[in-house]
Amino acid sequence: MTPDAVTPGGGRGATRVLVLNCGSSSVKYRLVDMADGRRLAGGLAERIGEGDGGRIVHTSGSGKPREQSHLFPDHAAALKAVAEELRADGLGLDAPGLAAVGHRVVHGGTRFTAPTLVTDEVLDEVRALTPLAPLHNPANVTGIEVARSLRPDLPQVAVFDTAFHATLPEHAARYALDRAVADRYSVRRYGFHGTSHQYVSRSTAALLGRDPAEVNVIVLHLGNGASASAVAGGVCVETSMGMTPLEGLVMGTRSGDIDPAVVFHLHRVGGLSVDALDELLNRRSGLLGLCGENDMREIVRRREQGDAEAGTAFDVYIHRLRKYIGAYCAVLGRVDALAFTAGVGENSAPVRSAATAGLEGLGIAVDPARNALPPQGPRLISADHSRVAVAVVPTDEEFEIARQTFALVHRSRG
Ligand code: ADP
């Protein structure tokens, strides 16, 4: 960490980074001091463009969250409220020490494979990628535009969710489709949750006291969205999400892998339109579609009470996860660690236990007592005799975006 970076926005000594993660109807934010990695403030503005019921929950330092109701007609209104909350803590966008704003951008296509300083041309190129991520990229672009208008002199950095997967070899990235059609329409595996996979694979190596370049890690990011990745010596070589976040594992509301012919069938025989199918597979499938519930806590509780639908949902979820663990063992050849992260991965001992049960043949054995301990920082849950280290590693995408943003700004200013 270099506390004396020179930046046009903050001047010598500017070490703070504001991270903005603009979703379609919400803004998550965090202010981090990269001199020591401290979280100075953070929060969430919700229900943007959804009429009344908007609110912002802001936490300063390690204090108590404070909540305020707002009407957020658009992202500009929400970001102004975020700036006001920060200003009330003496941490506004014009306070000294702010080095840059780091933005999460979902889709970088094949064009953006690393954190990128935002210019007018970059913004145009991110806009041009909208057909690949119609739900996400427009909100990300709006966030950048508003932040630029509030502080035009400050470096704005785009950190892409796809970037960590840019190293996928062609045999993993290319679908077995007609080459000309695939290339004309940019159809390939891009992968998502990259910032999390990068952070967690590196943290797992640190937990083992080893250099990331030396270890092969399977990362299981199990949140409401879920994805797996195979990381060989710090380089991502395979991931489960595809051209869009729909492919791969069973998720909260997404189906994950499915025979593509199901789509033709439901269109031809069921009369579902393309938009209805998109909605079905992205929002009404996965755990929600299987049992009417997408919160894993509730599914585990219902399953324990003998609810058959919840039991099936859990089993389908676990079966898919185990298939990916097995597949990624084959992809990597040698696995040093298996890391669980995100809401389900960090908190659900039953999911971790079921996903790894009976995998001693693959060198994976979890210690039940370690697995059952309440959530804490990064920790090992493998049995002493397990050849593969099994870890629970809390993800921190905001910190990783801040780190990459600060590194880029510092580098570009010499
Ligand atoms: P997102 O993908 O929205 O960022 P998170 O990583 O925060 O999601 O994960 C959210 C999910 O985590 C919830 O839908 C819930 O199923 C799950 N979750 C949170 N806490 C627990 C818990 N204690 N046990 C099981 N699942 C949990």
Atom 4 of ligand 1: nearest residue by CA position: 223
pLDDT value of residue 4 = 35
Nearest to 392 by CA among 318, 342, 319: 342
216 is in an annotated binding site: no
Atom number of ligand 1 nearest to Cα 375: 23
Instruction: Give residue 198's pLDDT band: very low, low, confident or very high (50, 70, 90).
Output: very high
Residue 170, pLDDT above cutoff 80: yes
* Alpha carbon distance 9, 174 (integer Å): 42
Atom number of ligand 1 nearest to Cα 225: 2
51 is in an annotated binding site: no
Query: What number is the average pLDDT over the span 217-224?
Result: 97
Ligand 1 mutation target, pool 104, 282, 297, most atoms within 8 A of CB: 297
- The Å distance, Cα 294 to ligand 1 centre, comes to 9
Atom 15 of ligand 1: nearest residue by CA position: 295
Report the b/e string of 77-87 with b at 16+ CB within 10 A: bbbebbbebbe
Residue 54, pLDDT above cutoff 60: yes
Residue 11, pLDDT above cutoff 60: no
104 is in an annotated binding site: yes
- The Å distance, Cα 45 to ligand 1 centre, comes to 19
Kindly state the tokens that stand for 302. 């219902």
Q: Which residues contact 335 (CB under 8 A, 6 or more apart)?
A: 216, 217, 218, 328, 329, 362, 363, 364, 388
- The Å distance, Cα 342 to ligand 1 centre, comes to 7
pLDDT value of residue 6 = 36
Helix (H) or strand (E) holding 227, with range, is strand 226-232
> Going by CATH, does the domain composed of 16-160 fall within 3.30.420.40?
yes
Instruction: Give residue 136's pLDDT band: very low, low, confident or very high (50, 70, 90).
Output: confident
pLDDT (tens digit per residue) in 87-107: 998 898 888 899 999 999 999
Q: Is 180 exposed, middle or buried (0-12, 13-18, 19+ CB in 10 A)?
A: exposed
Residue 1, pLDDT above cutoff 90: no
Atom number of ligand 1 nearest to Cα 226: 2
Residue 166, pLDDT above cutoff 90: yes
Helix (H) or strand (E) holding 39, with range, is strand 38-46
pLDDT value of residue 12 = 58
Q: Backbone phi, then psi, for 260, in 5-degree steps?
A: -60, -20
Ligand 1 mutation target, pool 46, 348, 398, most atoms within 8 A of CB: 348
Q: Regarding the domain with residue range 208-397, which homologous superfamily does it belong to in the CATH classification?
A: ATPase, nucleotide binding domain (3.30.420.40)
Nearest to 41 by CA among 26, 56, 63: 63
Query: What number is the average pLDDT over the span 338-354?
Result: 98
Atom number of ligand 1 nearest to Cα 295: 16
Instruction: Give residue 306's pLDDT band: very low, low, confident or very high (50, 70, 90).
Output: very high
For the chain, how many residues are written?
414
Atom number of ligand 1 nearest to Cα 342: 6
CA distances from 15 to 245, 250, 256, 279 (A): 33, 40, 40, 42
Name the more confident of 216 and 410: 216
| pTM for the model | 0.94
pLDDT (tens digit per residue) in 18-49: 999 998 889 999 999 999 999 999 999 999 98
Q: Choose the most confident range, by mean pLDDT, from 44-48, 78-82, 225-229.
A: 225-229
- The Å distance, Cα 296 to ligand 1 centre, comes to 7
- The Å distance, Cα 392 to ligand 1 centre, comes to 14
- The Å distance, Cα 344 to ligand 1 centre, comes to 5
Supply the mean pLDDT for the chain: 94
Atom 23 of ligand 1: nearest residue by CA position: 347
pLDDT value of residue 414 = 63
Out of 135-139, 166-170, 254-258, 357-361, which region has the weakest mean confidence (pLDDT)?
Answer: 135-139
Task: Point out which residues pair with 235 in neighbouring strands.
Answer: 232
- Note if 161 is an active site residue: yes
Report the b/e string of 108-144 with b at 16+ CB within 10 A: bbebbbebbebeeebbebbeebeebbeebbbbbbbbb
CA distances from 139 to 24, 48, 262, 322, 394 (A): 5, 11, 31, 34, 26
79 is in an annotated binding site: no
* Active-site choice (33, 161, 336, 396): 161
CA 340 to chain centre: 13
Residue 2, pLDDT above cutoff 80: no
For the sheet with 337-341, list strands across it: 235-239, 226-232, 216-222, 337-341, 389-392, 379-380
What's the CA angle centered on 179, arms 178 and 185, to 5 degrees? Answer: 95
Residue 5, pLDDT above cutoff 50: no
What is the percentage of the chain residues whose pLDDT exceeds 90?
A: 87
Ligand 1 mutation target, pool 296, 301, 393, most atoms within 8 A of CB: 296
Q: Which residues are near ligand 1 (CB < 6 Å)?
A: 223-225, 252, 294-297, 342-344, 347-348
Atom 13 of ligand 1: nearest residue by CA position: 295
The structural domains of the chain, with segments of one domain joined by +, span 16-160, 208-397
- The Å distance, Cα 295 to ligand 1 centre, comes to 7
Neighbours of 25 (CB within 10 A): 16
pLDDT value of residue 3 = 36
